[in-house]
Structure 1
Amino acid sequence: MIQPLQLNQVQLVSKPFETNAAKQAATPAEFTQSFGQYLEQALNSVSAQEKNVHTLNDKFMIGEVDASEVLIAASQAQLGLSLTSQVRNKVVEAYQEIMRMQV
């Protein structure tokens, strides 16, 4: 049925009894890779929501599902796409701001 967009669980920033040797800072490449994976998962989730809307729409035409289910799925897909485009806009703005910085 309708799958809600699930974000990764929040991880603890630090543990009180960890030693400094146990803590290792992630490299910029690791941060970039993890952010890239997060964006890829988010885009795949939006794509899956849109496919779900098309499937439910076809089932509605046959008479297998209710109109409310189609409307809910369509609203969720629309919100997901809207969020994705807003995040994209913010990333582009941040990139442009970085490019305007004088070094």
Structure 2
Amino acid sequence: MTAAVSRRCSSVDGNKNRKQHGSRLPTVSIALGALSVASFWVVGLGFLFGVAAVVCGAIATSRSAVVDDEAASLRALLGVVAGAAGITVSAIALLPMLAHL
């Protein structure tokens, strides 16, 4: 009887853990957005990280696991905003360089 109860409890805990860690794309989007803002001064790298952050965030918001989880949805939105900020800052940093070419 206790073995059946312990198996049942472990499967319930396993479902909770799986639901909490349903999608990693929102977290990847935030990380790429932060990297894009931090590396804006490297020619083109901040821009590429920003584009990757926006794409990952957009894909994450279209997934049902993220749509159902409000925290994951906000993380995906934060990743998109951070990616857009990285793209903007990188473009502003690249404009003076392009003027000298």
TM-score (norm 2): 0.42
Structure showing greater relative contact order (alpha-carbon pairs closer than 8 Å, 6 or more residues apart): 2
Q: Answer 1 or 2: which has greater helix percent.
A: 2
Report the TM-score, using the length of structure 1 for normalisation: 0.42
